[in-house]
Structure 1
Amino acid sequence: MQVEEQTYKVEKFCGYDKITNKPEDKLYPRVKNAIKKIIEDEEFTKYRVKVRAIEPDGGNYLANLYEIDILDEAPNGKKKINLFIKQTVGADNLYGFIDIEDAYLKEVFFYTDVSVIFNKLQNEANIPSNERFRNVKCWPESGGEAIIMENLTKDGFKTPRRKEITDLQFAQLAIQQIARFHSLSFVIQKKMPEYFEKKIRNVKTVLHLNDKYIEICTKSAKAAVSHYDEDIRKEIMNDLPGLIDTYFKYMNEAVTSVNCLCHGDYRLNNILGKEEDGETKEVLAIDYQLIFYGPPVTDLIYFMYTSGGTQFREKHERNLKDLYRNTMNDFLSHYDIDIEDVFPTKVFEKDYEFMRDFGFYCSFVFLPIFFSESNMLEPGTDLLKQDICVDKSFPEKIAGLYDEYKRYKNQNYNKN
């Protein structure tokens, strides 16, 4: 395979201590063979391949990332293919509580199986382009060692910066997309019951509750509450074991009457956005390694609490919840499915409030990791060996969170 060599000023990347000018050397043989097959299938006769390693900046924990451009150099050749590759970090059990192989198989399953069905169902129903759930094209020929996708950054899509808080316009488009994602799960359940029972209902989370996971959660939560007074710190840390237990309960048990295929990690860094004239016009979700079958409100709450602060929720939560419901209602109507038959409004509202502690868990445990320095989040890094150091703006970003949490606790919801 012809490869253009490039030099990158990176102090440490992909577990290597030395600067390299050949990022292609780190591609696994199966991945290189997959790229060759793509070249053959696309009938390139004369071509040039450019490989670029991407510095992760703390937004990716499970893979090493690459951009690959295949350029047609035949006379009058105009063809080009831009690929984005997520290559496994080579660990069987990252951090001690995530099965890497299972995570990759789940993402491959989504891109090469579920997303194909999603597209088929949307084509059959003639869903207008502006109302569709959009997927990234994926090539499956990598032997389970990598995910090879079209590189949408070449089409103007980009990932929000990891430490940003979402703006309303981006949030609205993201909520509509997750509503369509959940809706398609309900459509499969109604229109393809055998496939649903065999392939969707049995999708389990790749996360495992063990001592190492609890240790990391505790470490992260301590960083989250470090700026609070001592009494508040003690209160939240005393509540943490219960929050961890309920989080895993929601991810692993049928705690609600309505369940569907869930994204599992629906936050800003896993949503691409495309802007025109400074405004977000389109978004699409990526990174399906944590998909699972469970309560759809988990995705909605996860987004609300990891992508927006307390003030954002106080101002926009009600309208965004309505947008989620209206989008789902409109989407399901294309399939003659009544939203009240698959996800009644009363159930949705009850589930959302019942599972709001899921959001506080995400805030106290995940936000400190999302907002930490990027060097502790390089693929394969052992979080227990790193300090979780949030930046100076972190207290401002979670301003009001404790008061919101206290109000929730005082509601005394009956969870029995």
Structure 2
Amino acid sequence: MEDNKVQVLIKSVLEAENITDGIVSIKNANVEIADGLMSQILRVSITKKSTNQQLNLLIKVAPTDAEFRKLVQLLYKSEIHFYDTIVPLFNQLQLKYTEKPFVLVPKFFKAVKEQCQEVIIMEDLASKGYKMLNRKYCFSEECMKIVLQEFGKFHALSFALQTENAKTWKELDNGVDQSEVFTGEVVKWFQDALQKAYTLFESSNISTSKKLKNLHDNFESVMKTLLKPSDKYPSVIVHMDPWCNNFLFKQSTDSEGVEDVILIDFQTATKASPVLDISCFLYINASVETMKNWLQMLRIYYDSLVTHGKALNCCVEEMYSWEMFMDDWKDYAKYGILKAVMGISLNTQDDEDVKTHDQNNVGASFYIDKWNLKTIERIKVLIEHAEAENLL
């Protein structure tokens, strides 16, 4: 993005925040390429002369790769709608029932919707101690539980809004068919990982290998079905891409534990089954040991969903009982399996084996030449679990 356009955007934020004496510093004069993100990132610090207070901004700029223009347009449209429309509705709903709403997303300042010029400006939380975990390592059980509880809070807002104002909920549509995200080159990324998966099982379990090959061959239609809201159970606003790099954790100052977690990159936010978020998060980020307790993990999420629904004057158990959730799981957890086959293959690679993320060829970093032993171990555990639970 041109420097003068960046300055104009920063000036508009200063005016909105009533900062008249701000000293602006673009910490990274060159655009950073975020790990795994379809965006260019600028970090900006603004220091108020009179108080020496600092405001830190993160500016996400749409990439320039012409091949992915349609996809990028869809992603930014979804995320801007989420921050512009959904977050204010959720905050308003929370304030009706609690003085201190929970915060799961960074503060949003401004967005530019103009085609080929899409920009999102939000608070940069790095200065407050938030950071991503190392993608090469699974989440600890503590982090898994904390995130699942946060997802319970997040999804409870959708149930509460449906109870509070069914008309508003019905009209809450971003106009984006998320199945369009899973077309073209994106399909090839997933098929590349699925081909490695079915090849892995060819000699040891031909039945499993055939099921994985069927998912490979029919990936686009399978994903389209999974993204359709359930006819049986309520939908919620889902993130849909909760892999490790979409979480920012803040460590406790007085212990080694986690104080807070923030979810970022709502580029695929839409109405769908809550199972999409939970299955994707669990299967991509859980360790082999945590996977042994997968039902306990689901219970942690569900208990949080019910508890925070009650806090918002909503009886989730009547709308979506535990038995309904588990039935929904059978229909939609395949989404998490499909996402995890590629997610695990990306997360477990050594840095030197991951192709450089190039803004002029954003797809290159999603292809892995060869799985290492750590990848194979986790993929085997994932697929064996999927077979045992009849999710393939």
Quickly name the TM-score band, shorter chain normalised.
Answer: 0.7 to 0.9
Question: In the TM superposition, what is the alpha-carbon distance from 1:244 to its structure 2 partner?
Answer: 5.0
2:325 counterpart of 1:348: yes
How far the C-alpha of 1:128 sits from its partner, in A, is: 4.7
Q: Quick one: distance in 2 between partners of 1:386 and 1:295?
A: 26
Number of the residue aligned with 1:150: 123
Partner of 1:312: 290
3-state SS of paired residue (1:336):
coil
Task: Check the 8 A contact 1:166/1:307 in 2, yes or no.
Answer: yes
Moved more, 165-174 or 83-92: 83-92
In 1: Cα distance, 2:33 partner to 2:372 partner: 18
Aligned equivalent of 1:375, options 343, 352, 355: 355
CA distance in 1, matches of 2:2, 2:156: 37
Per-residue deviation, residues 185-214 of structure 1 (Å, max 9, x unmatched): 112212122221112486631634545444
Of 280, 301, 306, the residue aligned with 2:279 is 301
* Corresponding position of 1:63: 39
Relative to the length of structure 1, the TM-score reads 0.81
Counterpart of 2:139? 166
Residue 141 and residue 309 in structure 1: after superposition, are their counterparts in 2 closer, same or farther (change >3 A)? Answer: closer
Corresponding residue number in structure 2 for 1:205 = 178
> Quick check: 1:110 aligned with 2:82?
yes
Could you tell me whether the CA contact under 8 Å between 2:280 and 2:335 is conserved in 1?
Answer: yes
How far apart are 1:272 and its partner, in Å? Answer: 1.1
Q: 1:378 to 1:251 in 2, by over 3 A?
A: farther
Counterpart of 2:123, as a letter, is E
Paired residue secondary structure (2:106): coil
Provide closer, same or farther for how the CA distance between residues 32 and 105 of structure 1 changes in structure 2, counting only shifts above 3 A. Answer: farther
Change (3 A) 1:90 1:55: closer
Other structure's SS at 2:121 match: strand
Number of the residue aligned with 2:60 = 86
Instruction: State the Cα distance separating 1:289 from its structure 2 match.
Output: 0.5
Task: Point out the more displaced range, 109-118 or 381-390.
Answer: 381-390
- Tell me the SS of whatever aligns to 1:375: coil
Give the drift of 1:174: 0.7
The alignment's TM-score, normalised by the length of structure 2, stands at 0.85
Q: How much does 1:134 deviate?
A: 2.9
Q: Structure 2 counterpart of 1:32, which letter?
A: Q
**Structure 1 partner of 2:223:** 247
Please state how far the C-alpha of 1:274 moved relative to its aligned partner.
0.6
Structure 2 Cα separation of the partners of residues 289 and 64 of structure 1: 14
Confirm or deny: 8 A CA contact 2:183 2:220 kept in the other structure. Answer: no
Match of 1:405 in 2: 386
Give the aligned length: 378
Correspondence for 2:314? 337
Per the TM alignment, residue 365 of structure 1 is displaced from its structure 2 partner at its CA by 3.3
Q: Deviations over 1:109-153 (max 9, x none)?
A: 111221112122112211556xx2433111125345211001111
RMSD (Å) for aligned C-alpha atoms? 2.9
> Contact 1:204–1:252 at 8 Å: present in 2 too?
no
| CA–CA distance in structure 1, aligned partners of residues 361 and 372 of structure 2 | 19
Query: 1:281 is paired with a residue of what secondary structure?
Result: strand
Q: For the structure 1 residues 269 and 255, does the alpha-carbon distance in structure 2 shift closer, same or farther, using more than 3 Å as the test?
A: farther
1:34 is matched with which residue? Answer: 9
Which residue pairs with 1:325 in the alignment? 302
On the 8 A contact 1:70/1:80 being kept in 2, the answer is yes
Output one character per residue of 1:311-332: Cα deviation in whole Å (capped at 9) or x when no partner.
32212x2222111121111111
Residue of structure 2 equivalent to 1:388? 368
The answer on 1:185 being equivalent to 2:158 is yes
Equivalent-residue separation in structure 1 for 2:112 and 2:220 (angstroms)? 35
CA displacement at 1:240 relative to structure 2 = 2.7
| Equivalent position of 1:16 in the other structure | none
**2-side partners of 1:164 and 1:212: how far apart?**
27
Aligned AA (2:95): N
Q: Secondary structure at the match of 1:207?
A: helix
Give the counterpart of 1:123 among 95, 114, 131. Answer: 95
% same residue:
17
In structure 2, the CA distance between the partners of 1:134 and 1:404, relative to structure 1 (3 Å rule), is closer
